Amino acid sequence: MTVMARSIKRTSTMIRSRRMCNALVAVLALLTAPEASYAQESLTELLQRGPSFANSSSEGALVIDSQDVSVDPHSIRLKYRISNSSAEALTTVLTMPLPDLDFNDPDASLAIPGTDPTNFMEIKASADQKPLNFVFTQSAFANDKDVSPQLRANHLPLVPVDGFQNQLSALGRGAREKLADQGLLARSGTNQAGETLYFPTWIVKTTGRANLSIAAGQSLSIELRYRTSLGVSKDSVWREPLRSQRGLAAEIERRRVEYCPDHAVYAGVDKLVSTYIEQTKNLEAGKESAKSVAKPDPVPSFFPFSLFQQSDSPPPPAAETAKPAAPPPVANVANLREWRIALDLATGSPPMPVKEFRLLVDKAKKDRVVSFCMNNLKRVSSTAFEMRATDFTPLQPLKIILVGPE
């Protein structure tokens, strides 16, 4: 991979530019500032969406009996039980939109979990436990215009993969400049040889489709599973003293609306830091104790002050004063990270409510704090939370945030 190329990598995709690297260097040089310690390099989570069922043969006959959604940092699983309430066989199209990939910002780092440039979420599906094959369509858009034919004519991939700059170089300068003039490429700095670097400016839209047939009065079990697009930040704005900084007030408010944290969430983050500090102190104390056992302290060359007391009575005890609590450290000493997940089940959902709905969110590790906006939550394990509802209609995207040590 060339230094300046955008790339797709397994687990987490880093789509970056030299401007991002320069900005990161500046941030690292300013880590003594609380605001700067949060603004480190991060991955941006993709907005993952659920499927839609386009009924093409019998309007209103399709019923969503149940929907089961399981989310964790590794994968998302969607289970549906759908029924044909009509007296005739029903044909429907299961449509699965993948997240949009916006390459307009050369400094953005998108969390693309898979390596396949088309099925980059690694979606797998089944109907009544039999594999369901999707047919994918993918197009690139710039200024609301489909530019896929132009890219293919120039032998450029819609989703830039390793070696994108090399592919651009093979076009020749004239072709690159023409694409830049057409708004498909943006000029962004130069390489070590002084040659102009270009980055894509298009948005990629990908959709998978599969046909389903349900006999009259029958039902069908649909299961979809795909990898989680996991946003990552190398610090958390929710730890003190960051969350009390005026410069981060707008970000704190935005996250309050998106993730609905309460005092228990903030207290949990503070506990992660204080626990780390206490464990570190105990570890250091243990090392010092081991040293003292292995090698006795030498005899002091001075006498304790109490030997020079003129009175036979013991000296009065010194007044004990409570030590003030140490302020929270500015630096991210506990090595906290943020992980973010965004899932939109509202867009494309059927107009009728889901009869039985279940959501399970698993933070995967005990030493993590999780927060998201949902009522009637119940803890079902040391790491998982469940919500159940009847006649449920999703109205807005579900945004989940996890905070914990790396």
pLDDT beyond 60 at 178: yes
233 CB burial (10 A radius; 0-12, 13-18, 19+): buried
Question: What's the whole-number average pLDDT of the chain?
Answer: 82
pLDDT over 70 (residue 306)? no
Residue 26, pLDDT > 50, answer no
Which of 29-38, 59-68, 126-135 has the largest mean confidence?
A: 126-135
Mean pLDDT is lowest, of 189-203, 278-292, 376-390, for: 278-292
Contact 397, 340 (CB under 8 A): no
Q: Which region among 85-99, 219-233, 293-307 has the lowest average model confidence (pLDDT)? A: 293-307
Nearest to 394 by CA among 341, 349, 340, 342: 349
Helix axes 173-181, 164-171, angle to 10 degrees: 100
What per-residue confidence (pLDDT) applies to 297? 47
Q: Which fold has domain 18-269+331-405?
A: Immunoglobulin-like (2.60.40)
CA-wise closest residue to 48 among 186, 206, 215, 245: 206
> Does residue 142 carry a pLDDT above 80?
yes
Is residue 14 scored above 90 in pLDDT? Answer: no
Q: Evaluate if residue 23 carries a pLDDT over 50.
A: no
Q: Give the containing element (helix H, strand E) for 174.
A: helix 173-181
pTM: 0.80
pLDDT for residue 105: 86
Give residue 8's pLDDT band: very low, low, confident or very high (50, 70, 90). very low
Q: Give the pLDDT mean for 294-298.
A: 51
What is the largest distance, in Å, between two alpha-carbon atoms of the chain?
108
The arithmetic mean of pLDDT across residues 101-129, rounded, is: 93
- Distance between CA atoms of residues 231 and 73, nearest Å: 10
Over residues 323-333, the pLDDT tens digits come to 566 677 889 99
The DSSP code sequence of 18-60 is HHHHHHHHHHHHTTTSHHHHH---EEBPPEEE--EEEE-SSTT
Does the pLDDT value for residue 305 go beyond 70? no
The DSSP call for residue 182 is T
pLDDT tops 90 at residue 40: no
Per-residue pLDDT tens digits for 71-101: 999 999 999 999 999 899 998 899 999 999 9
When pLDDT is cut at 50, 70 and 90, the band that residue 321 belongs to is low
Q: How many CB atoms lie within 10 A of CB 65?
A: 14
The pLDDT value recorded for residue 307 is 31
Mean pLDDT in residue range 20-47: 49
The pLDDT of residue 194 is 86
CA–CA distances in Å: residue 89 to residues 57, 169, 216, 390: 8, 55, 5, 27
- Predicted pLDDT at 164: 85
For the record, the structure tokens of 210 come out as 């599969």
Please give the residue that has the higher pLDDT: either 252 or 163: 252
49 versus 55: which is more confidently predicted? Answer: 49
Residue 31 has pLDDT above 50, yes or no: no
Instruction: Check residues 133 and 191 and name the one with the higher pLDDT.
Output: 133
HSE-CB of 287 using CA atoms within 13 angstroms:
5
Residue 7 above 80 pLDDT? no
- pLDDT computed for residue 326 by the predictor: 67
Domain residue spans of the chain: 18-269+331-405
Mean pLDDT over residues 208-228, rounded? 95
